[in-house]
Amino acid sequence: MMLFNRQQTQLKTLPHLDWLEAEAIHIMREVAGQCANPVLLFSGGKDSICLLRIAEKAFRPGRFPFPLMHIDTGHNYKEVTDFRDQRAAELGERLIVRSVEDSMQRGTVVLKHENESRNKHQSVTLLEAIEEFGFDACIGGARRDEEKARAKERIMSFRDEFGQWDPKNQRPELWDLYNARAHKGENIRAFPISNWTELDVWQYIQREGLELPSIYFAHQRPIVRRQGSIVPVTELTPAKAGEAIVNLQVRFRTVGDITCTAPVESAADSVEKIIAETATTTITERGATRLDDQASEAAMEQRKKEGYF
């Protein structure tokens, strides 16, 4: 009986970031090869910034075989939306922006109250945009390590014509043989960086020298502490009566809708320092920073069933 050890291995293998990149390129090319009219969802956040670099590596010197699209709640940090527009322009690729505010004007999004977070209503606007453009696949930057409901997500995830994700009816996914087939009106969500962790993303950003919106790095910001979370004080999220506003050095680990994204206390003002912090932290990315996911254990799963990314 043979026992394995590293000395036996003669064949060259890829370092881990190269492997992850190669897998992501392969997935993106499969979407382009199998789907007639895909779109890449680009928010200006770090995960979708990685997706753009992967798309460059997958398709240059040609143009991307898909446009970029952002579903804007109207409540995003200006640093992020400015970055989004600038990056799309640099790449010379088409950027579609569809706004939750437009859905509100159409009456398809109705807030329960004026201050309700628009984050979960992105699903409606996304589905409207999918219908408007006839997209049969949406490429997104979701990762399986983000939280529990995503650990069993497929790389090519099937959504019915209502955009619903049915966790009991997902296609088995074997080898690197992806099934992105969908009937008219149905939709595939494709996640090329499914197998990346938050640490992998930061290591890739470092290796590729990718630019990021400034709010990912440590900066001073007025905040209040609320139920164990750090809540940034903005026009949309003012301090409540009796809460003490303090200036704190913080950075964002995720950037999303202002009303539901919290920063973490950090002095990490460079990619290197963020990597060191990420490697040693024991709190998950969403656990620390997404106020909406904390509402209930199954919050994410519920939103996904409703068509959320």
Partner 1 sequence: MQLIEDHGLLRFLTCGSVDDGKSTLIGRLLFDSKAILADTLSAIEKTSLKRGMQEVDLSLLTDGLQAEREQGITIDVAYRYFSTGTRKFIIADAPGHEQYTRNMVTAASTANLAIILIDARKGVQPQTRRHSYLAHLVGIPHLVVAVNKMDLVDYSQARFEAIKADYLAFAQQLGIEDVRFIPLSALKGDMVVDRGEKLAWYEGDTLMEILEAAPAAHTEHDEPFRFPVQYVCRPQDSTNPELHDYRGFMGRVESGSIQVGDAVTVLPSGRTSLVKAIELGGKALREAITEQSVTLLLTDEIDISRGDMIVKTEAVPTQTKQVNATVCWLAEAPLDRARTYLIRHTTRETKAKVAAIEWRVDINTLDRQSAERLQMNDIAQVSFKLAQPLLTDPYVDNRGTGAFIIIDESTNNTVGAGMITKLAA
Question: Cα 154–295–237 angle (5° rounding)?
Answer: 115
- The least distance separating partner 1 from the CB of residue 203, rounded to whole angstroms, comes to 8
For residue 134, give the DSSP letter.
T
Residue corresponding to tokens 């930057």:
141
Q: Considering the complex, what minimum distance in angstroms separates the CB of residue 83 from partner 1?
A: 21
* Tokens standing for residue 290: 């997404």
Which residue lies nearer to partner 1 by CB, 34 or 43? 34
**Residue 66 and residue 135: Cα distance in Å, rounded?**
10
Q: Judged by CB under 8 A, does residue 10 bind partner 1?
A: yes
Least spacing, CB of residue 267 vs partner 1, in Å: 16
Q: Which stretch binds partner 1 (CB under 8 A): 76-84, 93-101, 243-251, 269-277?
A: 269-277
* Binding residues among 116-145 for partner 1 as defined by CB under 8 A: 144-145
- Of 54-62, 78-86, 130-138, 239-247: span binding partner 1 (CB under 8 A): 54-62
- The reply to whether 249 sits near partner 1 by the rule CB under 8 A is no
Q: Measured between alpha carbons, how far is 278 from 273 in angstroms, rounded to an integer?
A: 9
- The residue among 71, 7, 5, 74 whose CA lies nearest residue 40 is 71
264-265/246-251 β-pairing = antiparallel
Judged by CB under 8 A, does residue 225 bind partner 1?
no
Residues 140-199 that bind partner 1 (CB under 8 A): 144-145, 148-149, 151-152, 158, 167-168, 170-177, 179, 181-183, 186, 194-195, 197, 199
Among 58, 230, 248, 262, binds partner 1 (CB under 8 A): 58
Of the pair 169, 220, the CB lying nearest partner 1 is at 169
Cα dist from 15 to 10, 127, 271, whole Å = 15, 38, 20
Choose between 276 and 295: whose C-beta lies nearer to partner 1. Answer: 276
Minimum separation from the CB atom of position 214 to partner 1 (A): 22
Q: Which of 154, 146, 157, 143 is nearest to 196 (CA)?
A: 143
Nearer to partner 1, 82 or 173 (CB): 173
CA 96 to chain centre: 17
C-alpha 50 chain-centroid distance: 10
Cα separation, 38 vs 139, in Å, equals 7
177 within 8 A of 140, measured Cβ to Cβ: no
**Distance between CA atoms of residues 83 and 156, nearest Å:** 28
Q: Taking CB under 8 A as the criterion, which residues in 63-122 touch partner 1?
A: 63, 65
**Site membership for partner 1, residue 61 (CB under 8 A):** yes
- 63 versus 225: smaller Cβ distance to partner 1: 63
Q: Out of 20, 39, 127, 262, which residue is the one contacting partner 1 (CB under 8 A)?
A: 20
Q: Is 276 in the site for partner 1 (CB under 8 A)?
A: yes
